[in-house]
């Protein structure tokens, strides 16, 4: 008996990391990615490099992904060879698992249930035949997304997705897995935080800095999409903090990633922040840790109220974090204890709370400890593996 982690959307390389951790903890687990790398989307390779792990069976599908019928036959063959019994899946090709005789539980990564499950809007602004082709692709993809969600044994969603869930698959069982983090020793972490604050601060010429790794996706029509990251709220909150802090020379460090980097840079100019912002190139997940550690405050996302890794990863590094996850919904499995972050979408409120914390070092340190303690209790590898076995069965 073994587990299978299957993805046709890599979700920041996290399915690969899940398979790695399960294997490290003695659970025989295999990984198959059916993501369309020929389009340049290979977040697993970007974050974790060119590895050749014996449990990664993705090459069985070939360099260029085969048609659905051949993929189904390959999955059926691998099922017989490796004895897959429980499958954790995400992405619009997950329905192929059922067609190959494999039952699975499905992780909704966001826009699959929020947007792609519903009738697409006509893509205005394109020539007719281009728009027709885009619309047809969306419509076809929607059918596969719906099949992947509806054919699953159970579904993992965020609380804000409850309305979409009730429209697409009401009554389908729900399950929950915590975020997965490497959470180290607190005293060692404090030393690293001091070292990285000094090293990065010296490099960017700032005594303190705030940090956000969130992809820039917020401007224009994108503000109405569930994938809206609310980067404008980050900038407006920082502007409010700067106003309240007066002579503070704190800088904001952002990652140059996403369709709206230019819009964020324009908003920063309008807010008079250009000289206070440092832009970094996109980096692998592991390289973010030193910025989480060195930052006095980290920002998650603020468009759609959801708890993402952009907020949870800083918590694991004992950082003070600001993000918007809305509220828990009793019908949707979630953490029993909410994370100790500043949960708001209001720039004035966020700026004021950050200014208060920065003026009271003890409160700032206490909140950082609570962040680490919450991550240790809820998101460690051991906690994740235990939750996985509870969700998928240990037999």
pLDDT at 40 over 60: no
The per-residue pLDDT for range 332-363, each reduced to its tens digit, is 999 999 999 999 999 999 999 999 999 999 99
Q: Which superfamily is assigned to 2-179+383-392 in CATH?
A: Glycogen Phosphorylase B; (3.40.50.2000)
Separation between Cα atoms, residue 45 and residue 35, nearest integer Å: 12
Q: In a 10 Å sphere around its CB, with 0-12 CB exposed, 13-18 middle and 19+ buried, how is residue 152 labelled?
A: buried
- Whether 186-378 and 2-179+383-392 are alike in CATH topology: the answer is yes
pLDDT band, residue 67 (cuts 50/70/90): confident
Residue 100, both tokens: 């190959």
Residue 167, both tokens: 């429209």
98 DSSP assignment: H
Phi and psi angles of residue 174, each rounded to the nearest 5 degrees, phi first: -115, 145
Give me the pLDDT at residue 205, please: 94
Please name the residue ranges forming H helices in the chain. 14-24, 43-48, 68-82, 95-99, 111-114, 128-150, 162-168, 186-204, 231-245, 261-270, 289-294, 309-316, 347-359, 361-379, 381-392
- Cβ atoms within 10 A of the Cβ of 98, count? 20
The per-residue pLDDT for range 292-327, each reduced to its tens digit, is 999 999 999 999 899 999 999 999 999 999 999 988
Q: In a 10 Å sphere around its CB, with 0-12 CB exposed, 13-18 middle and 19+ buried, how is residue 252 labelled?
A: buried
298 φψ region: left (φ > 0), alpha (ψ -120 to 50), beta (else): beta
List the domain boundaries for the chain: 2-179+383-392, 186-378
Q: What is the CATH number of domain 186-378?
A: 3.40.50.2000
Residue 112, both tokens: 């699959």
Give me the pLDDT at residue 217, please: 94
Q: In a 10 Å sphere around its CB, with 0-12 CB exposed, 13-18 middle and 19+ buried, how is residue 117 labelled?
A: buried
Residues 300, 318, 344, 158: is their CA dihedral positive or negative? positive
Between 52 and 180, the more confident residue is: 180
The per-residue pLDDT for range 267-298, each reduced to its tens digit, is 999 999 999 999 999 988 889 999 999 999 99
The per-residue pLDDT for range 181-236, each reduced to its tens digit, is 989 999 999 999 999 999 999 999 999 999 999 999 999 888 888 889 999 999 99
**What residues form DSSP beta bridges with 255?**
280
Judge whether 159 and 343 are in contact, CB under 8 Å: no
Residue 130, both tokens: 């281009």
């Amino acid at each position: 008996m073994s587990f299978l982690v299957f993805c046709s959307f890599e979700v920041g390389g996290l399915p690969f990391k899940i398979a790695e951790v399960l294997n490290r903890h003695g659970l025989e687990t295999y990984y198959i990615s059916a993501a369309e790398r020929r389009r340049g989307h290979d977040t697993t390779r970007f974050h974790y490099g060119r590895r050749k792990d014996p449990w990664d069976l993705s090459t069985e599908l070939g360099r260029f992904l085969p048609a659905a019928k051949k993929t189904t036959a390959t999955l059926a063959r691998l099922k017989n060879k490796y004895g897959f019994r429980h499958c954790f899946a995400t992405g619009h090709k997950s329905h192929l698992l059922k067609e190959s005789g494999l039952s699975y539980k499905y992780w909704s990564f966001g826009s699959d249930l929020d947007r792609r499950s519903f009738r697409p809007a006509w893509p205005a602004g394109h020539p007719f035949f281009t728009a027709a082709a885009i619309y047809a692709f969306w419509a076809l993809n929607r059918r596969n997304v719906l099949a992947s969600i509806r054919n699953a044994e159970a579904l993992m969603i965020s609380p804000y997705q409850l309305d979409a869930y009730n429209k697409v698959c009401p009554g389908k069982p729900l399950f929950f897995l915590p975020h997965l983090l490497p959470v180290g020793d607190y005293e060692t972490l404090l030393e690293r935080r001091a070292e990285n604050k000094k090293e990065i601060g010296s490099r960017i010429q700032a005594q303190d800095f705030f940090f956000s790794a969130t992809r820039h996706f917020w401007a224009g029509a994108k503000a109405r999409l569930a994938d809206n990251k609310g980067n404008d709220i980050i900038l407006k909150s920082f502007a409010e903090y700067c106003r309240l802090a007066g002579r503070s020379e704190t800088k904001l460090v952002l990652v140059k990633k996403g369709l709206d980097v230019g819009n964020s840079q324009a908003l920063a100019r309008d807010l008079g922040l250009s000289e206070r912002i440092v832009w970094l190139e996109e980096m692998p997940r592991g390289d973010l840790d030193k910025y989480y550690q060195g930052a006095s405050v980290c920002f998650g996302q603020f468009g759609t109220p959801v708890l993402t890794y952009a907020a949870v990863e800083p918590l694991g590094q004992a950082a003070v974090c600001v993000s918007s996850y809305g509220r828990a919904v009793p019908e949707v499995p979630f953490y029993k204890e909410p994370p100790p972050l500043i949960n708001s979408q209001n720039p004035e409120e966020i700026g004021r709370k950050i200014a208060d914390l920065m003026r009271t070092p003890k409160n700032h340190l206490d909140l950082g400890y609570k962040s680490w303690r919450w991550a240790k209790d809820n998101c460690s590898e051991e906690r994740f593996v235990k939750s996985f076995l509870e969700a998928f069965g240990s037999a």
